[in-house]
Chains A and B, each alone.
Chain A
Amino acid sequence: MAANGRRHAALVIEIVLIAAGIVYFFPVYIMIANSMKTSMEIAQNPVSFPTSFYLQNFVKAWVASSFGNAFRNSLFVTVVSVLLLVISSSMASFPLGRYQTRLSNGLYILFVSMLMVPFQMAMIPLYRMIYNLHWINTFRSVIFVFVALNLPFSVFLYTGFIKTVPAELEESATIDGAGPLVIFARIVFPLLKPVTSSVVILNSLAIWNEFLLPLLFLQKTALRTIPVAVFSFQGQYNTNWAMLFAALVLAMLPMLIVFLVLQRHFVKGITAGSVKG
């Protein structure tokens, strides 16, 4: 009897979830549907199903925004930034999570307080600095700024998680005479996989969709990242919505794929091996 009740509850939950999913997905459907309509169709009715799948939008958008080039730029910037982020924030979290000294606590507070800064405050001084370094129109400017902006959050995540990872394994390693770098690299870091996945996904996302920083520091058309290239379809008054939507769909796809691939990763029993009985 109880089992039956439980199955009913499960079914109800599933139905509610699916309904929520449909409602949730609707705006996304609009974006995809509009990317396959002509401008005229969109102006007539933005929420209708496309009458015919007008795929030229994608081709035109690709060419007009030099999408292939923008894609390469976005890829480079995102991959390098995320790599740097994962390395530097996981390393920083090691002492911050394990030690309770005034130094480690102080640094932790420093990092987390940087999370709260509204970016507008730092924008102009930052530009001045990058300009004085002659780093305008170089990739390193956006990379380092991305990393700096996202470090606080990543450090926060890693530190929090590291505290829940028991230190026994590290103890046995030190008895074997291992140094801190080795311990970190071979023992601690692999245990941080769930957080690493989250950090990779969340930061890739933030950096891939970031519009303002590449706009400021990568002004040459050849260096544009995807968001900047895509929004070039916005005119002063009139916007080319058909091409804009098509470009946005194209822009979203890589992130979607990354997410699909990685989320299966942290679904697959990360619990195995992280805790001993």
Chain B
Amino acid sequence: MTSGRHASPTEFVRGYLCSVSEPGGITRLAFTHGGIKQFMKQNTTAVTLAFTTPALVIIAIFLLYPVLSGFYFSLTNWNGLDRTVGFIGLRNYREILGDREVMVSLKNTAVFTITATIVQNFTALALALALDRRFRSGGLLRTIFFIPVLMSSIVVGYTWSFLLHPLFGIVNKLLTGAGLGFLALDWLGNPHVALFSVVGMSVWRWVGYSMVIYLAALQAVPEVLYESANIDGASPLRKTVSITLPLIAQAFTINILITLIGAMKEFDIIYVTTGGGPGYATQTLAVLLYNEAFQANRMGYGSAIAVVLFVIILVMSLVQLGILRRREVSF
């Protein structure tokens, strides 16, 4: 490895990489040309930029720019139709603070998100753990649990609204038949129950997704560790708690983050089954913002709600990442 001279552009790109151990046990790649510290910084920059450019360019043009425009619309009273757009500053945001419908939607979003995230991850993890061992029916079951993810929202909505109908729905018919008639509620029409029914449908739809991620993580846990634990005579529970769970902490973080964000943005399932009803019982911020922007022709106001939603998601994600990242273990 040469040192003590500046790299020419071609050498820069081809470069001489080696790994450097840093305090804190992190291993990273660095160039080793002379003036090591300075060059290491410069050169990692070069590599970073080179490798992230394709992704960055696409995102900047097709996502970042429209989103920033969306931010701009939130400061206007645009109705989505007029050719001109009127700037009104923060008036939309002030209206949001006093809008009762926004408060109700906020509450529903919170309940929906927390419940769905917990239930979905718990179920997905349990399924993944159970399916990771090689059962005879393992492969088939894995597919069955994943199929709802392949379906489109309209089918999910149609079939579930028939299943959950208080009169001719199979769910209530079975419950009454089994003598559990008192449990036969009006699942989608009773305002106190509807939100939880929607959580149920959402979990049904997306569990397979989380399960797949957990399964992939479980696959990556090396057999060796289990084998040595077996030699030490550890029980299955002990193995799960001490080996499996810590090592899939990464997947855990990922899944919680995704389900959290997904639940806060969830629109399809709610819109297709209850439309936010009955009344406002299942209306979340995502549904509200769609209604305001596109049905009520208040694009400016709807964009402001979208910004509020975005900020909430951002804050929650950062908090969650902060808590969970610290507990991750790597090899």
**Chain A residues in the interface with B (C-beta under 8 A):** 6, 10, 13-14, 17-18, 21, 24-28, 30-31, 46-47, 84, 87-89, 91-92, 94-96, 98-101, 103-104, 107, 111-126, 129, 144-145, 147-149, 151-153, 155-157, 160-161, 163-164, 166-168, 170-171, 174-175, 177-181, 183-184, 194-195, 197-198, 201-202, 205, 209, 211, 227, 230-231, 234, 241, 244-245, 248, 251-252, 255-256, 259-260, 263-264, 266-267, 269-271, 274-275, 277
Known: A180-B17, A275-B222; 16 extra A-B contacts, CB below 8 A, are: A21-B140, A98-B29, A101-B41, A113-B314, A114-B59, A117-B67, A117-B310, A122-B67, A155-B55, A164-B331, A171-B18, A179-B15, A184-B51, A252-B150, A263-B212, A271-B222
Inter-chain contacts of B319 with A (CB < 8 A): none
Residue of B nearest to A252 (CB): B150
User: Which residues of chain B come closer than 8 Å to A184, judged between CB atoms?
Assistant: 51
Whether B63 contacts A148 by the Cβ 8 Å rule is yes
**With A118-B265, A264-B139 in contact, is A195–B51 under 8 Å at CB?**
no
Option from A123, A126, A194, A245 in Cβ contact (under 8 Å) with B62: A126
CA A125 – CA B17 in complex, angstroms?
43
Contact partners of B52 in chain A: CB under 8 A? 91-92, 95-96, 107
What is the size category of the interface that chain B forms with chain A?
Answer: 35 or more
The distance in angstroms between the C-alpha atoms of A149 and B144, with both chains bound, is: 28
Give chain A residues whose Cβ lies under 8 Å from the Cβ of B290.
Answer: 120
Write the chain B residue with the least CB distance to A141. B62
Interface residues of B in 294-324 (CB under 8 A from A): 294, 299, 302-303, 306-307, 309-310, 313-314, 317
Main secondary structure of the interface of A (DSSP, over half): helix
Q: Is the CB of B162 within 8 A of A116?
A: no
Q: Which 8 A-B pairs have the closest CB atoms?
A: A125-B69, A121-B70, A148-B62, A122-B66, A121-B306, A95-B48, A179-B14, A116-B313
Q: Are B143 and A157 in contact (CB under 8 A)?
A: no
Partner-binding segment picked from B94-102, B153-161, B179-187, B274-282? B153-161
Residue contact A91 to B70, C-beta cutoff 8 Å: no
Query: Which of A17, A129, A147, A205 touches B141 (beta carbons < 8 Å)?
Result: A17
Give A252 to B219 CA distance when docked, in angstroms: 27
Is B245 an interface residue when CB atoms closer than 8 A count as contact? no
In contact, B160 and A27 (Cβ under 8 angstroms): yes
Q: Are A170 and B152 in contact (CB under 8 A)?
A: no
Within B8-26, which residues are at the interface with A (CB < 8 Å)?
A: 13-19, 22, 26
A-B contact count (CB 8 A): 287
Residue contact A171 to B19, C-beta cutoff 8 Å: yes
B36 proximal to A (CB < 8 A)? no
Contacting residue for B51 out of A94, A119, A160, CB 8 A? A94
In chain B, residues 257-272, which have Cβ atoms closer than 8 Å to a Cβ of chain A?
A: 257-258, 261, 265
Given known A27-B148, A95-B48, contact A114–B63 (CB-CB < 8 A): yes
Q: Give the complex CA separation of A209 and B160 in angstroms.
A: 19
Chain B residues positioned under 8 Å from A87 (CB to CB): 54
**How far is it, in angstroms, between the C-alpha of A190 and the C-alpha of B65 when the chains are bound?**
34
Closest Cβ–Cβ distance, residue A202 to chain B (whole Å) = 7
Closest B residue to A126 by beta carbon equals B66
- Residues in chain B near residue A6, CB distance under 8 A: 236
Q: Which residues of A contact B29 (CB under 8 A)?
A: 98-99, 167, 170, 174, 180
B84 proximal to A (CB < 8 A): no
Q: Please name 13 pairs of A and B residues whose Cβ atoms are closer than 8 Å in the assembled complex, sorted by A.
A: A21-B144, A47-B162, A88-B55, A98-B28, A101-B44, A101-B45, A114-B67, A120-B306, A121-B71, A148-B62, A149-B62, A151-B63, A260-B143
Contact status A157-B80, CB under 8 Å: no
Q: Which chain A residue has the least Cβ–Cβ distance from B142?
A: A263
The answer to whether B58 and A144 have CB atoms under 8 Å apart is yes
Q: Which residues from B are CB-within-8-Å of A202?
A: 209, 212
Q: Does B224 contact A (CB under 8 A)?
A: yes
A256 touches B147 (CB 8 A): yes
Distance of A226 Cα from B138 Cα, bound (Å) = 31
Instruction: Write the residues of chain B forming the contact surface with A, with a CB cutoff of 8 angstroms.
Output: 13-19, 22, 26-29, 41, 44-45, 47-52, 54-56, 58-59, 61-67, 69-71, 73, 80, 127, 130-131, 133, 135, 137, 139-152, 154-156, 158-160, 162-163, 170, 204, 209, 212-213, 215-216, 219-224, 236, 250, 253-254, 257-258, 261, 265, 286, 289-290, 293-294, 299, 302-303, 306-307, 309-310, 313-314, 317, 330-331
Cβ of A13 and Cβ of B51 under 8 Å apart?
Answer: no
Picked from B59, B145, B219, the residue with its CB within 8 Å of the CB of A194 is B219
Among B59, B137, B236, B289, contact of A148 (Cβ-Cβ < 8 Å): B59
Chain B residue contacts of A166, Cβ below 8 A: 27, 331
Contact A91 B51 (CB under 8 A): yes
> How far apart are the CA atoms of A179 and B50 in the complex, in Å?
13
Within the complex, what minimum Cβ distance (angstroms) separates B110 from chain A? 16
Q: Which of B15, B140, B152: most chain A CB closer than 10 A?
A: B152
Known: A88-B55, A113-B314. A122 touches B141 (CB 8 A): no
Question: Quick one: given A116-B261, A117-B63, A270-B219, are A183 and B17 in contact (CB under 8 Å)?
Answer: yes
- Do the beta carbons of A270 and B150 come within 8 Å of each other? no
CB–CB A95/B47 < 8 A: yes
- Please report the C-alpha to C-alpha distance between residue A75 and residue B141 in the assembled complex, in whole angstroms: 27
Shortest Cβ gap from A168 to chain B (Å): 8
In the complex, the answer to whether A121 meets B261 with C-beta atoms within 8 Å is: no
